[in-house]
């Protein structure tokens, strides 16, 4: 099956790769990097066809993100994070879809989804306040998804909590400059966001529970199976694909560097069987991570396409495999970087930038293994995990 976006990325690979240092120096994607992503259609892969999207298979989305990230980590990360937002926007009220994409289908939507805001009801909608961290690619986006909780008329959070995703235009929130000073993925520009007393019409608020249980996709009349995948399968896909792609990029730079490297012992690295063993082992681990992520999303897609329910137990298995794939690939990177020699850590060597980027990507909340592995193990032995945090990202 032809993937036009992947083909376009491969045609501009040298440009994307060369812009990596500029992205990092700027602390956000270079404008030319963002232009390339628009040109190749990277953010429209999961966008509905009604608004200029491609509605590609999620496997094709993940494969493309891996390729972009193998060229530059920050570019792949932004493509993976911002690229998943059209998937949810396809389920949103048609009025907000028209507001965002009606005049320009290349309008990007930022996030984060962390429920750090409160939404107080008023006539015709809500008043929204909050502060969020980690809004990747936000400088190049004109709208945003922000997570929050519904409040009562006095501004107190409802009990039990009701989580929502709130959609705002760029005029209604502040991007906090100089709030993204980190060791890795510096080029993502994942800055803080502040919202102060923004009025939000009711049609720009999404009930998160309906996204999770799939009812919102059904209510929206969407027929493409991709939109009926569980949130816990779709949302992590671009993030983990980016991490695995960065690991592939690290390995590629390591191989290129080792080709002519002479070790302090005087032996050429290419003649050292221990170095070659480590390379082979790492390559196999990264390939296994790639295969596991793609196999999992294809299985979920096929289940949904066949009209089957994706049970909690199956979602837990999928999240377990997705998290494990990221950790396996990063451990493999550590093995090869430790054998790259001291010069690999010089700031003009891309190996060190990829190494920093993969570790920064691994600390995203979606890659925390504890509760995911715990819940998956319980379901494997036939015990339903209790309600609460253990289930929150499954």
CATH topology (fold) of 229-391: Butyryl-CoA Dehydrogenase, subunit A; domain 3 (1.20.140)
Q: What is the pLDDT of residues 337-393, one digit of tens each?
A: 999 988 899 999 999 999 999 999 999 999 999 999 999 999 999 998 888 888 888
The answer for residues whose C-beta is within 8 angstroms of residue 137's C-beta and 6 or more apart is 28, 29, 34, 78, 81, 82, 108, 110, 188, 189, 190
Domain ranges of the chain: 4-101, 109-207, 229-391
How crowded is residue 33: how many other Cβ atoms within 10 Å of its Cβ? 27
What is the token pair recorded at 366?
């979606």
Strand partners, 157: 151
Burial of 223 (0-12, 13-18, 19+ CB in 10 A): exposed
Q: What angle do CA 216, 159, 372 make, to 5 degrees?
A: 60
Residue 258: band (very low, low, confident or very high) from pLDDT cuts 50, 70, 90: confident
Does this model's pTM top 0.95? My answer is yes
Q: What is the pLDDT of residues 114-132, one digit of tens each?
A: 999 999 999 999 999 999 9
Burial of 260 (0-12, 13-18, 19+ CB in 10 A): exposed
Q: What angle do CA 302, 308, 312 make, to 5 degrees?
A: 100
CATH class of domain segment(s) 109-207: mainly beta
304 neighbors 310 (Cβ within 8 angstroms): yes
Instruction: Please report which helix (H) or strand (E) contains residue 206, including its range.
Output: strand 205-207
Q: What is the mean pLDDT of the chain?
A: 96
180 neighbors 186 (Cβ within 8 angstroms): yes
CA distance 296 to 257: 33
Examine the pLDDT at 323 and tell me if it is beyond 80: yes
Pick the CATH number of 4-101 from 1.10.10.60, 1.10.540.10, 1.10.1060.10, 1.10.760.10: 1.10.540.10
Model pLDDT, residue 148: 98
């Amino acid at each position: 099956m032809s993937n036009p976006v992947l083909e376009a990325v491969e045609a501009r690979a040298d440009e994307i790769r060369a812009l990596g240092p500029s992205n990092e120096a700027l602390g956000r994607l270079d404008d030319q990097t963002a232009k390339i992503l628009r040109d190749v259609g990277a953010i429209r892969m999961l966008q509905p066809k009604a608004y200029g999207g491609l509605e590609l298979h999620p496997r094709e989305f993940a494969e493309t993100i891996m390729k972009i990230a193998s060229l530059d980590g920050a570019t792949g990360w932004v493509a993976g994070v911002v690229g998943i937002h059209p998937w949810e926007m396809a389920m949103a009220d048609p009025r907000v879809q028209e507001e965002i994409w009606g005049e320009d289908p290349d309008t990007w939507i930022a996030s984060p989804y962390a429920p750090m805001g409160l939404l107080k009801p008023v006539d015709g909608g809500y008043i929204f306040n909050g502060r969020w961290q980690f809004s990747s690619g936000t400088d190049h986006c004109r709208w945003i998804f922000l997570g929050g909780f519904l409040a009562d008329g006095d501004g107190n959070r409802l009990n039990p909590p009701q989580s929502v995703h709130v959609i705002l235009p760029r005029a209604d929130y502040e991007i906090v400059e100089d709030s993204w000073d980190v060791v890795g993925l510096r080029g993502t520009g994942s800055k803080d966001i502040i919202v102060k007393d923004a009025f939000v019409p009711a049609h720009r608020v999404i009930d998160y529970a309906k996204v999770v249980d799939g009812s919102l996709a059904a209510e929206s009349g969407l027929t493409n199976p991709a939109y009926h995948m569980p949130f816990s399968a779709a949302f992590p896909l671009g993030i983990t694909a980016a991490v695995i792609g960065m690991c592939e990029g690290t390995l590629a730079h390591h191989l290129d560097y080792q080709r002519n490297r002479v070790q302090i012992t005087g032996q050429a690295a290419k003649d050292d069987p221990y170095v070659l063993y480590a390379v082979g082992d790492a390559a196999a681990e990264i390939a296994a991570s790639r295969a596991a992520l793609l196999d999992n999303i294809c299985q979920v897609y096929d289940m949904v396409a066949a009209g089957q329910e994706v049970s909690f137990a199956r979602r837990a298995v999928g999240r377990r495999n997705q998290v494990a794939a990221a950790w396996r690939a990063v451990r493999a990177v550590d093995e090869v970087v430790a054998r790259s020699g001291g010069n690999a850590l010089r700031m003009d060597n891309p190996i060190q930038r990829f190494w920093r980027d993969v570790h920064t990507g691994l600390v995203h909340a979606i890659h925390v293994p504890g509760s995911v592995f715990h819940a998956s193990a319980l379901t494997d032995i036939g015990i339903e995990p209790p309600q609460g945090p253990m289930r929150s990202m499954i």
